[in-house]
Structure 1
Amino acid sequence: MRRRRSRKGLEQHSGANGVQDAKNPECGGRRRGGTLQAGDMPGLMTKHRPFKKRRDRARRVSSAFFVIVLLSMLTATTAARAVPVTWSEPEAEFRLLLVLRGNTRWPAKAGFVSFCTSPYRPETSAFTVRRLDGVPVGTRRLWVRDGEPVKLMFDTSSGERSYYLYIGPKDRLEEKSFEPQSGVILETRPAHAFRIGSVDQFRKVWEAAGEPYGRSVVPKIFDGINRFGPSTEFMSRYRGWFELKEKGAYEIATVADDLAFVLIDGRTVVEWPRGKNLWRHRSGEVHAEVELDKGVHEIEYLHLQQHHRSVAMTAWRKKGADRFHLMQDGVYRPVAHFDPSAWMAADPDRQPGLVTWRIVDSLELDDRAVVRAEFRVRPEDEDLRYRWTFDDGTVVDGAAVTHIFLRPGRRRFRLQGLDGRWTEQEWKGTVRVHRRWEERFRWNEEIFDALRPHLMERDLASLPVEDFTYFMEWASSAHDLELLGRSVDEARRRADGLKRDAPEALLRIGAYYARARKHEYEEAEQWFRTVIGLDSAPAPLKDRARLELGALLLKAYGKPQEAQQVLKAVRPPHLSNRLQRRLRFLDAERLLIAGDTGRAREAFERLAAGTRMDSRSVLRRRATAQEAAAALDEGLTEEALDRMRGLMLEDPRERLDLDRIDLLRRIYLRSGDLLRARVLCASSLPLAVSDRERSELLYALADVYDRMGREDRARETARRIIDEYPYSAAASRAAGRWK
């Protein structure tokens, strides 16, 4: 029975298509301002035949698409069923069935597959690809490292949609070589030199760079990150192949940061020199003309990135065309992507399944990352119960599990298959855990909110020392006092062992107690002095402890002479550039607290000698102060204090600004850090010039004394305001508050 459509149903059926169909005369819609009106809907469905034809044609297209998808699935299934049972490589220990991915470009002369490597070591293994009838095809290793996914390219010119990948010992299994001239292959390496002015110099630095970060097939030359490692101080080399149907003149353009060379068929075409302004030349201004013959051509893109944002891209156009276009995936010769499907071992009793893993997400702060990874065994045996044991002591059951690593690196795991009789099948593997390089932003609040409950429940007592100390540093950088508090409690229980194995954890305990929201300064001082007195602590660690102790003596206790004795023992070469700058800042702070205002001003001015004073930098620093004030209004005292510390380290003259001093005082008061507030107010009095400024600072000091319970000092300071500045607003308030 035919279903009758209501007017409401017609409008819902048309939806947004009504606007699009108004531009198409075939639909019979009347134009009113470029769109169909509501009154046009019934006529559109009932009176106009063209819409019915269009609807029937859409149905036929949908039916045809469904048939194509069904046939492709049947073809893959038939291919899998038609796999011969013969083992074409007698020396191979494992075999994977590679099946053409559904949404890949096809046909193609080269295929690409990426797969995990457990239970075998890839660096001691050989890989050979064969057609289903046993005929070998050429194979090219792109990336083979223990603990990382293997990446291979192989010859698919035969047109087969399924292949066997055999894996065996390197000394017994022969690999047939293959040189793919399709797609784009990217490799990145660390950069150790940056004064490069030519392609030859780039190649020399490239060869001396050492171990690559990674290598893989990518869709195009268009990146803003390092896909395989840190996105600063790295080099990239792209090699791609494209085919022209006819001879012609083309213009090749590039945009890069910091340095790039574009080569066509081995000849340098375009150069982006270091120091060139990225934003002023981002529309194809850096380009060159090249004559290209019909056929296959190779493009090579060499890129060097030092700091800040990474950019690497190429574009082209035919000579005389209006606009440049990115050299997209469709420009290059196609590479078909394959997925590993069926898996089997030559010895069925050796391995119940293949272990796969992937990095789900990560959170990185100060070059320390917490990483979440997913592990799975395939195919899953319903008669077995799987148990995963990771090298940090965590035990998880299930065929598919998620684990949070508290420290990156090469991590080990053990997987057990337990049957009903508790007969164990066991195998081990290694995984290289690292930050998820594809994530442009290293910190994501949503990911942190998702991981935090799991981190709070983690059993820190069972963690190895390396994992525990690493996580403690990470929690400190995250400014999460609950996470850090759990770490500190565990560190106190482990104190005897940490003194010998990880004295840096004791320094972190002291820093925790010295924080603005804890301000347990006697406890902090005790831990700092413990680290300084440890024979097992290295000299740089002791100097960091002296730096922290000196800052505590200055800013919390107001003891410049004692702090000077501690800071004198610090050897600057043991400190990073940032800590060396902090040491000089503390020396200027010491002069200010000691009352030597003139020398203190000179010291702060010398520190600020390299500070940028252009209008943009000045506005940015003002914005930082405003962000600190906004964070304080929201009760985020840790964030507000961090912004103010960063601001004063960037431009030390901000320490002499009374507005900044007042904001810092309010941050200390909101966090309950009365000791630091007292020292700040007392040391800033000589900076005040006018009577109003001095009277307000004295009133702030009296307020701090009153909050500390020292009423006698508060009244004494209030009497000083009334006597020295009797006509000030501060004197009026002091008289009313301390009668």
Structure 2
Amino acid sequence: MNAPARFVIEVNQPEKKARVASVRVGLPDSRWAELPVTVYDTTGKQVGARWLWSAPGEVATVVFDSSSEAKRYFLYVGSSTAPADPNWTPEAGVALETRSGDGRNVNRIEEMLAAWKKSTMVLGRSLLPTIFEGGHRHGPQTNLFSYYQGWFDAPTAGKYEMAVISTDAGFILVDGKLVVEWPGKHAVWPGTRGQFRNAVDLEAGPHKLEYYNAYWYRPDGRTPLVCCMAVKTPTTGWVTVRPGSEFFRPMTTAHVAGYELIPEGLANSTGLILPTAPNVGFEWEIAEQSVTAADVTESGFILIKFRFYRERPEWTCTWSFDDGTTVTGSRVEHLYLKPGVRQVKLTVTGAQGEIGSLSLPVNVRPNWTQLTTRKPELTPVHRDAVLARDPATISAADWPSVVELFTVFEDADALVKITPAVTVKLSDFSDVDLVTIQRAAAYLGGGLAKRYANAEPYYQALIDRAAGEKATAATKTLANQARLQGAQVILKSSNRVDDARTRLNAIDPLTLMPEERKAVEVMRGDLALAAGDVAGAKKIYLAQTAEATGADARSSIRRTAKIDQAAVYMEKKDFESAEKTLDDLEKQSPIDKLASDVALTRLRLYQERGESVVALIWARRLLPVLTDSGARSQLLFRLTDLAFTQGERDSARKTLKELVEKYPYSESTAQAKGKWPSEIEVKK
């Protein structure tokens, strides 16, 4: 049965005696937001009300006059013979609206007002207790304009000083007149001590304050949006206007306490023309999230809480989600594995059968406010919940988000566990989503995870995808990149030289960028070195090195600087930066791979990072390369240490013998005598 309906609203903090309240309302039909909204108190008196914000898949927000101090109100959606005052304004708290910006420099209030008027893409509206914002609460950080309109009461007449604190251009107006400005593009910190301030003479009584900001987005994410202010009144010192400061007139919040179908006679007696409504209504809110950054919208785990409006113990609520899962209860929660618009259906049954059902789109997105106050993290509860799911129930559309989060938060164990399920579904991934698989493989096969064997199934899956019916130019390029990267991982972590060569020979270089084609050729040199062909490796490396080498060549100077830089990183245990420094050096000058100082620095990196197997493989490949006494004695010492660590005692003793007998007066031999005295004594 459908009939007109109304929402029962209860004020959360009636003791605040606030002039204005805001309430979130889950509409059973998004088209209702196009109709007028009307609010009455319990005496039947109509109060001022208006829509603040509504958008597809979002819970709508209504603001209304709560100055009557009633605890309960009734909200109706529909046309009325006695419409609410269209000019009513919520003269309490601070109304915030954000719009899409253009990233341009704003130097004057006239430019700010013109830019605001020109921008018509509204990103969101909120009612706030004050102006104390860090980040963008209506969406990811991007170029945007913000406009705050708040009301405050001046307790006495006199001089009021105000300071603007903002990232980029900020302007404060009182009663329509500019008071203080801080134009241009800038960080917030220079203004945190009130350097940009001015005074205004005010009469006692109510005043309207307006605050404009033009924010320019920095892709590095290191300069978040900040909008704040400070005030000095005739009777107080400087105070930052933060939550609890009570500078602006107080506002409060309310909640939907009930959703009632209205008998036709009662509906007509209100004088309202109401739309027919289902007997089921619900709302939702973002409870928790695991997201990687404040400007990422493609991936993340989002926990949504749902609440049925008409709770009765004798009714059963069944929630059906578009990922195939169902759950029962009047209040439930569901963990989504990827942001996006999702469909939710609620079916309510009683003793006589179905009471009603309602299906609505839900915009699953991060809580942008939380992103500005909390460091992005992978919540352990979310991680465990995802891993506990039946992999068959996770769609190909959701898997890339799962892989991305586990990669960004460096959860190698989780990536390994989901490998079979991901590779099975890979044929249904979009070409764009395949890049997440490539990143996961690079992480597993890199020095952070050190899970070399576990990277191979991901690389192989990318290769197999390009051989299937859905092969495109993009997937073929990814497959050849996977062959190259997979071959590099195989050769770095094992002696499977033939396997690495097979992958390398299967590459079609025409699909790769010039830098990648160069990497293929350098890899052929690596294969020669792994096979013991030092002369062949040197010839290939020289062919790929542009600059001359030698004691006086620029490459020697650059090499020394890079080695010193890598050493500094290693002292700080920043092994990722150290490896990148060496990689950059060898990409520009592959012949430096065979330079003793570079080769030994890389060996030290592997060893100190805990990659004993990789270090041992690399050390043995250097045996025919490092022949001068200083470098070779260092190599033999490290090789001895690595062989003992891997339990290869015979090999370690053999290497130790060579070190002691051939280089008896070297520093490395002195170190060896101190570290393995019993082993050396045995050899005498």
Does the alignment reach a TM-score above 0.5?
A: yes
TM norm structure 1: 0.69
The C-alpha deviation readout for 1:266-307, integer Å capped at 9, x for no partner, is 333322244556445422121112223344322222222534
Aligned to 2:470: 536
Confirm whether residue 426 of structure 1 aligns to residue 357 of structure 2: yes
* Distance of 1:703 and 1:645 partners within structure 2: 22
The C-alpha deviation readout for 1:668-699, integer Å capped at 9, x for no partner, is 6x45653x76348857998x999555532354
- SS of the counterpart of 2:413? helix
Pick aligned residue for 2:133 from 196, 215, 223 = 223
The letter of the residue matching 1:519 is Y
Aligned to 1:301: 211
Pick aligned residue for 1:519 from 452, 467, 477 = 452
Confirm whether residue 361 of structure 1 aligns to residue 361 of structure 2: no
Aligned to 2:273: none
Pick aligned residue for 2:17 from 89, 102, 106 = 106
* Distance of 1:497 and 1:525 partners within structure 2: 16
Q: Decide whether the 8 Å contact of 2:98 with 2:146 is kept in 1.
A: yes
Q: 1:320 to 1:133 in 2, by over 3 A?
A: closer
Aligned to 2:271: none
Give the 5 Å matches for 1:235-274: 235-274=145-184
The letter of the residue matching 1:403 is H
The C-alpha deviation readout for 1:102-131, integer Å capped at 9, x for no partner, is 3553152x3322233346555444422234
Q: 1:424 to 1:103 in 2, by over 3 A?
A: closer
Q: Decide whether the 8 Å contact of 2:403 with 2:437 is kept in 1.
A: no
* Distance of 1:358 and 1:720 partners within structure 2: 70
Aligned to 1:666: 607
Greater shift, 194-203 or 253-262, is seen at: 194-203
Aligned to 2:227: 312
The letter of the residue matching 2:487 is L
- SS of the counterpart of 2:338? coil
- SS of the counterpart of 2:136? coil
Pick aligned residue for 1:335 from 251, 256, 280 = 251
Aligned to 2:635: 697
- SS of the counterpart of 1:727? coil
Aligned to 1:286: 196
Give the 5 Å matches for 1:53-72: none
The letter of the residue matching 1:362 is Q
Greater shift, 479-488 or 453-462, is seen at: 479-488
* Distance of 1:252 and 1:608 partners within structure 2: 55
- SS of the counterpart of 2:323? coil
Q: 1:713 to 1:152 in 2, by over 3 A?
A: same
Give the 5 Å matches for 1:111-510: 111-118=21-28, 121-156=31-66, 160-168=70-78, 176-177=85-86, 178-206=88-116, 211-231=121-141, 233-274=143-184, 276=186, 278-303=188-213, 304-307=215-218, 308=222, 309-318=224-233, 323-326=238-241, 329-346=245-262, 351-365=278-292, 367=296, 368-420=299-351, 422-423=353-354, 425-439=356-370, 440=372, 443=375, 448-498=379-429, 503=434, 507=438, 510=441
Give the 5 Å matches for 1:645-664: 661-662=602-603, 664=605
Aligned-pair identity in percent equals: 22
Q: 1:210 to 1:706 in 2, by over 3 A?
A: farther
* Distance of 1:704 and 1:566 partners within structure 2: 34
Pick aligned residue for 1:553 from 487, 490, 499 = 487
* Distance of 2:118 and 2:628 partners within structure 1: 62
Q: Decide whether the 8 Å contact of 1:235 with 1:305 is kept in 2.
A: no
Q: 1:149 to 1:321 in 2, by over 3 A?
A: same
Shift of 1:494: 3.2
The letter of the residue matching 2:572 is Q
Q: Decide whether the 8 Å contact of 1:118 with 1:430 is kept in 2.
A: no
Confirm whether residue 626 of structure 1 aligns to residue 557 of structure 2: no
Aligned to 1:32: none
- SS of the counterpart of 1:372? strand
Q: Pairwise CA RMSD of aligned residues?
A: 4.9
Shift of 1:397: 1.6
Q: Which runs of 5+ in 1 are unaligned?
A: 1-90, 574-579, 629-640
The C-alpha deviation readout for 1:146-167, integer Å capped at 9, x for no partner, is 2222112223455655332102
* Distance of 2:37 and 2:77 partners within structure 1: 5
Q: 1:193 to 1:679 in 2, by over 3 A?
A: farther
* Distance of 1:232 and 1:722 partners within structure 2: 64
Q: Decide whether the 8 Å contact of 1:510 with 1:526 is kept in 2.
A: no
Give the 5 Å matches for 1:570-585: none
The letter of the residue matching 2:6 is R
Q: Decide whether the 8 Å contact of 2:151 with 2:208 is kept in 1.
A: yes
The letter of the residue matching 1:431 is V
Shift of 1:345: 2.1
Shift of 1:246: 4.0
The C-alpha deviation readout for 1:580-628, integer Å capped at 9, x for no partner, is 9x9999999999985558868978999999x9x9xxxx99x96886355
The letter of the residue matching 2:241 is L
Shift of 1:442: 5.5
Confirm whether residue 728 of structure 1 aligns to residue 666 of structure 2: yes
The C-alpha deviation readout for 1:358-392, integer Å capped at 9, x for no partner, is 21111112632111121121331211222111111
* Distance of 1:556 and 1:603 partners within structure 2: 29
* Distance of 2:585 and 2:92 partners within structure 1: 53
Shift of 1:338: 3.0
The letter of the residue matching 2:392 is A
Greater shift, 713-722 or 280-289, is seen at: 713-722
* Distance of 1:172 and 1:182 partners within structure 2: 28
Aligned to 2:617: 678
* Distance of 2:469 and 2:45 partners within structure 1: 66
**Number of residues of Structure 1 aligned to a counterpart in Structure 2:** 617
- SS of the counterpart of 2:149? strand
The C-alpha deviation readout for 1:430-464, integer Å capped at 9, x for no partner, is 2211122222365566x722333322211221122
- SS of the counterpart of 1:466? coil
Aligned to 2:533: none
The letter of the residue matching 1:678 is I
- SS of the counterpart of 2:379? helix
Q: Which runs of 5+ in 2 are unaligned?
A: 265-275, 530-536
* Distance of 1:426 and 1:542 partners within structure 2: 47
Greater shift, 171-180 or 248-257, is seen at: 171-180
The letter of the residue matching 1:212 is V
Aligned to 2:532: none
* Distance of 2:559 and 2:15 partners within structure 1: 58
* Distance of 1:608 and 1:542 partners within structure 2: 39
* Distance of 1:124 and 1:283 partners within structure 2: 45
Shift of 1:571: 5.9
The C-alpha deviation readout for 1:174-194, integer Å capped at 9, x for no partner, is 664222332211123444414
The letter of the residue matching 2:217 is Q
Q: 1:692 to 1:320 in 2, by over 3 A?
A: farther
The letter of the residue matching 2:199 is E
